[in-house]
């Protein structure tokens, strides 16, 4: 297996700043998924988003990626408005987003062929990237032949292929066992230190957020919004079981617990209100309330 001392030796484009300026977004009219969120991620900064399910973490990543366009406010990359997806902002998703019909190597080469990179350079880049994530031996394997951890490594290699300035990661390790997750956290930190890319990392796991983030952004629900930001003053590379990690985790967990309890209360209310006409009425979304 790999070790976190195996430093990826590549240099490429350094990070760009990523900004949400007063952004709101709704999937359906009248129901805000994100309400007035502002967040500035510095170039070369690693920011983690934590929050309960439904707090809009994935939505924020999609907005940053340019997959969704805000209803209000602006999304900026290095101060320039984002107008759609771009290879300069790469996304790593939670589950197997590698294409099953392509070998690992072909998966990593795919974004390169989209940007018109020639065959030989593609092959060289793919080899190098797979080495970075310790998968060089598995270049010819197909995704279903790999473990979950290897697949996510492959997805990271594919995301790095176009040498993005911003790396957006949506709970990439949520489906992995604790040991594998810890190893991959170390690898993300190594890649971050070696490349200087900007990383926005979404997770449910407060410990993971504190382990990785320069800052941790705590999100709340109904509507999805940013509650507060905590700077993590621990030097890198970090030891996974640093004492100070625990202190931050305790602090942030209290905040999350309050949010989750709020949701539980509201859901109990919903159940009580529901019988009226059979329509699900959500008290948190009364006009002008909570938005």
Partner 1 sequence: MAWATASSLAATPLWPTPAGVAEALVAALRDGSLPRALGTSVLRLAVGYALALAGGVALGLALGRSVLVKDLAGPLVLGLSAVPSICWLPLSILWFGLSEAAIQVVVVLGALLPIAVATESAVRQVPPLWVRAARTMGASGLGLLYGVIVPAALPGIVAGAKLGFTFALRSLMAGELLFVSGGLGQLLETGRDLGDPALVLAVVVTIVALGRMLELALFRRLERLVARRWGTDRP
Ligand X SMILES: Nc1ncnc2c1ncn2[C@@H]1O[C@H](COP(=O)(O)OP(=O)(O)OP(=O)(O)O)[C@@H](O)[C@H]1O
Binding site for ligand X (CB under 6 A): 27, 33, 51, 53-59, 204, 224
- Which is closer to partner 1, CB of 110 or CB of 285? 110
Write down the least CB distance from residue 165 to ligand X, Å.
Answer: 23
Task: Find out whether 208 and 185 touch, Cβ atoms under 8 Å.
Answer: yes
Write down the least CB distance from residue 151 to Mg ion, Å.
Answer: 18
d(CA 249, CA 263): 21
Tell me which of partner 1, ligand X, Mg ion, none is bound by residue 285, counting a contact when its beta carbon lies within the kind-specific cut-off of 5 to 8 angstroms: none
Please state, as a whole number, how many other Cβ atoms lie within 10 Å of the Cβ of residue 171. Answer: 20
- Which is closer to Mg ion, CB of 108 or CB of 206? 206
Write down the least CB distance from residue 164 to Mg ion, Å.
Answer: 20
Tell me which of Mg ion, partner 1, ligand X, none is bound by residue 53, counting a contact when its beta carbon lies within the kind-specific cut-off of 5 to 8 angstroms: ligand X
d(CA 152, CA 150): 5
Please state, as a whole number, how many other Cβ atoms lie within 10 Å of the Cβ of residue 20. Answer: 24
Q: Residue 279: is it exposed, middle or buried by C-beta count within 10 angstroms (0-12/13-18/19+)?
A: exposed
Write down the least CB distance from residue 61 to Mg ion, Å.
Answer: 8
Tell me which of partner 1, Mg ion, ligand X, none is bound by residue 99, counting a contact when its beta carbon lies within the kind-specific cut-off of 5 to 8 angstroms: partner 1
Write down the least CB distance from residue 23 to ligand X, Å.
Answer: 13
- Which is closer to ligand X, CB of 37 or CB of 129? 37
Q: What are phi and psi of 70, to 5 degrees?
A: -65, 150
Q: For residues 30-59, which are near Mg ion according to CB under 5 A?
A: 58
- Which is closer to partner 1, CB of 6 or CB of 141? 141
- Which x/- pattern over 56-85 shows residues binding Mg ion (rule: CB under 5 A)? --x---------------------------
Return the closest-CA partner of residue 137 out of 277, 32, 288, 1: 1
Write down the least CB distance from residue 91 to ligand X, Å.
Answer: 13
- Which is closer to partner 1, CB of 143 or CB of 255? 143
Write down the least CB distance from residue 224 to ligand X, Å.
Answer: 5
Q: Could you list the residues that contact partner 1 (CB under 8 A)? A: 62, 65-67, 85-87, 89-91, 93, 95, 97, 99-101, 110-111, 114-115, 142, 144, 158, 162
Residues that bind Mg ion (CB under 5 A): 58
């Amino acid at each position: 297996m790999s070790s976190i001392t195996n430093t990826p030796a590549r240099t490429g484009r350094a990070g760009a700043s990523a900004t949400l300026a007063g952004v709101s977004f709704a999937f359906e009219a009248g129901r805000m998924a994100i309400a007035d969120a502002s967040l500035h991620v510095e170039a070369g900064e690693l920011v983690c988003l934590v929050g309960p399910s439904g707090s809009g973490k994935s939505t924020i990543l999609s907005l940053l990626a340019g997959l969704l366009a805000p209803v209000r406010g602006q999304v900026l990359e290095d101060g320039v408005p984002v107008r759609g997806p771009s290879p300069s902002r790469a996304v790593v998703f939670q589950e197997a987003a590698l294409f099953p019909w392509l070998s690992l190597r072909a998966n990593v080469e795919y974004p390169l062929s989209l940007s018109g990179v020639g065959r030989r350079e593609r092959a060289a880049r793919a080899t190098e990237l797979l080495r970075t994530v310790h998968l060089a031996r598995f270049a010819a394997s197909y995704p279903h032949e790999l473990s979950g951890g290897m697949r996510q490594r492959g997805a990271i290699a594919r995301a790095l292929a176009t040498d993005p300035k911003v790396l957006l990661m949506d709970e990439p390790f949520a489906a992995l066992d604790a040991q594998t997750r810890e190893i991959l956290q170390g690898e993300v930190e190594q890649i971050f230190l070696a490349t200087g890319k900007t990383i926005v990392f979404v997770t449910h796991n407060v410990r993971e957020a504190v382990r990785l983030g320069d800052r941790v952004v705590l999100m709340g629900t109904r509507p999805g919004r940013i509650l507060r930001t905590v700077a993590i003053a621990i030097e890198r590379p970090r030891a996974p079981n640093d004492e100070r990690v625990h202190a931050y985790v305790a602090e942030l967990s209290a905040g999350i617990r309050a949010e989750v309890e709020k949701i539980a209360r509201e859901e109990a209310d919903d159940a009580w209100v529901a019988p009226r006409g059979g329509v699900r009425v959500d008290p948190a979304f009364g006009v002008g309330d909570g938005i």
